[in-house]
Amino acid sequence: MHPARFRSCLVVCCAVLFAAFSQIAAANTLCVTPGGSKLCYAKIQLAVNAASNNDLINVAPGTYKEDVVIGKPLSLIGAGADLSVIDATSLANGILLDGYNNPGLHTVTVAGFTVKNALYEGVLVVNTSGATILNNRIMNNDKEGPVFGSGPACKGQPAYETDESGDCGGAIHLLGAVNAMVAGNFIAGNADGILISDDTAESRGNVIVNNIVTNNPLECGIVLASHPPAGSTPPHYAPHYGVNHNTVAGNISSKNGVTVGGAGAGLFSDGEGPGRVSGNLITRNRLTGNGLPGVALHTHVGPAFGAPADNMDGNAIIGNFIAGNGADTFDTATPGTAGININSGGGGSPVHGTIISQNVIQDEAVDIAVNNPVELDAHFNDLLGGNVGVANVCALDLAACTGSIDATENFWGCTTGPGGSGCTTTSGSNISFTPWLKHRE
């Protein structure tokens, strides 16, 4: 390299490194303690307001009666979920990451808190990228309601939440979120557990991993739901932004939705389509004892109603343990309790490219229920319990039975295949199951 060019490159590189180190050096650590001190703030919100981008805020043990709103990149770290408590009694949320009013919000971490008693969500993440919600206890939120059928949102909720009357947003709500990580949280006593929706923008690339979601009585443990865009109007609303390419892995979702009805993991379009929930992965979760099937995929509109079709394509349900869940009802009904329900309702939206593989399903009346006007494939699953392994439920749902189910290469509970002694069987038309596996995978 020419010496002059080398010197120029060296100057530029040094300038870049200096700027990077200066940014790191400029980050400060702030502290919060109950009652405050000469060095620490008395309120979490005061510390957030005083913080600069990328600062760290340490919150000491104690109870903080606040609704904390964050609009800048920073890390908010409690002393541990049993020690640092945000009590949002009579307040909207425990913590709001507000990228709606602070466009471009990114890289916010919230870890080590109990968040309880909010009117709506315990933790609400709106239009934010790269958020991390880690090792928290999110308990007994959604206090304002919910009142089913009361309208698009719970009383007093922001207008940009277009479909929350059933759950007030749940414990943790990712709304228009990109590349968030929600990990290691314990979630109980809310209307529902973790919700990803698209009211304000596409939600994509989020990872929901290793959470315990239990005893949230009204709706689902974990739900990916496509809602009408804020400001759109009927009859069919604007095309939804989409809940796409998210991963739900290694979670325990148990005993949710047992009062009103909720799945262990749900993928839903709300019937005010055209909705989009596509390319998502539900894997290695334990889904037991929920009020609806362990995994429920619903579309509710489509060509049969003269409406645009929902896009629920390319979702994968792989390697989950599913047992002892409830039945689906209404336009997505199953003939008894069900492990997995892939259901187009009466609207006839085709669901393409679903992967159902390597799941262990037991203690259900129907292991895999399907109402889909196109072919659905399910392979390498253990269909146990001696009841119905695969059912085509289109007639039950009053839909035209034009679809088929390729259920070859599954284990049906014994060596002789469907209907053999001790084996599960099939129900309904257009189901292929030969060859089958003679041993558990």
Print pLDDT tens along the chain (441 aa): 444 443 444 343 444 333 333 344 468 999 999 999 989 999 999 999 999 999 999 999 999 999 999 999 999 999 999 999 999 999 999 999 999 999 999 999 999 999 999 999 999 999 999 999 999 999 999 999 887 765 678 888 999 999 888 889 999 999 999 999 999 999 999 999 999 999 999 999 999 999 999 999 999 999 999 999 988 888 778 899 999 999 999 999 999 999 999 999 999 998 887 999 999 999 999 999 999 999 999 998 899 988 999 999 999 999 999 999 999 999 999 999 999 999 999 999 999 999 999 999 999 999 999 999 999 999 999 999 899 999 999 999 988 899 999 999 999 999 999 988 889 999 999 999 999 999 886
Q: Please give the structure tokens belonging to residue 118.
A: 């909010």
pLDDT of residue 151: 66
- Strands of the sheet containing 203-204, edge to edge, are 203-204, 243-244, 277-278
pLDDT of residue 202: 98
pLDDT of residue 439: 86
pLDDT of residue 116: 98
Collapsing DSSP states into helix, strand and coil, what is residue 98?
strand
Distance CA 293, CA 363 (A): 12
Q: How far is CA 267 from CA 204, 250, 278, 311, in A?
A: 14, 17, 9, 11
Beta carbons within 10 angstroms of residue 74's beta carbon: 23
Domains of the chain: 62-432 (2.160.20)
Distance CA 135, CA 214 (A): 15
Q: Is the pTM of this model over 0.75?
A: yes
Selection from 86, 170, 186, 171 nearest residue 134 by Cα: 186
Write the DSSP assignment of 110-167 as a string of letters: EES-EEE--SS-SEEEES-BS-EEES-EEES--TT---TTS-SS-TT--TT--S-TTT
Amino acid (1-letter code) at residue 292: L
pLDDT of residue 233: 82
pLDDT of residue 389: 98
Q: Are 294 and 263 in contact (CB under 8 A)?
A: yes
pLDDT of residue 26: 60
Q: Please give the structure tokens belonging to residue 343.
A: 């259901």
Rg, Å, the chain Cα set:
24
Distance CA 355, CA 341 (A): 13
pLDDT of residue 13: 41
pLDDT of residue 234: 80
